Amino acid sequence: MPLGIDPDHSLQVPPLSAEEAGWYKYSPTPGEIGPTVILGHVDSNTGPSVFFKLGALRPGDRVSVKRADGIVVVFRVTRVVSYPKSSFPAAQVYGNTKNPQLRLITCGGRYDSVRRSHVDNIVVYASSVSV
């Protein structure tokens, strides 16, 4: 599902009920030069969600992304990082790259029941290996 920007200028996230991840439509199409950004939930009101095991990925793991046109782009994980939401490095995560990259983003860390959200974001960085 395509995602845009919310009125507060933050990236939209898929609905909490979504069982799929969403592509930030202002980022490159998977396989194009730059960081493709895909967001998904780690959990929902009913249990684990699409990115529940995202933090278990390790460098060297492969991730396949099927585009709307049916083309599959394969990426190799280069690193997995947990960032406090209060100090999320947007320029590092979303900044331009010289080759096709992927950023998978979800929530992580401790759950803050007052704010009703996790305190961290998990970001998977990956580089394209084939289209």
| Domain CATH number, residue 25 | 2.40.260.10
- Quote the CA–CA distance of 97 and 92 in Å, as a whole number: 10
List for the chain the helix, strand, coil content (%; round to 5): 10, 45, 45
- Quote the CA–CA distance of 41 and 13 in Å, as a whole number: 8
* Cα dist from 22 to 15, 19, 31, 39, 129, whole Å: 10, 10, 16, 5, 21
Tell me the whole-structure pTM to 2 decimals. Answer: 0.92
Boundaries of domain holding 43: 2-130
Asked if residue 4 has pLDDT above 90, the reply is yes
Transcribe 89-101 into DSSP letters.
Answer: -HHHHHS--SSEE
Per-residue pLDDT, 114? 83
List, for residues 45-84, the tens digit of each pLDDT value.
Answer: 788 889 999 999 999 999 999 998 999 999 999 999 999 9
Domain count, the chain: 1
- Quote the CA–CA distance of 39 and 22 in Å, as a whole number: 5
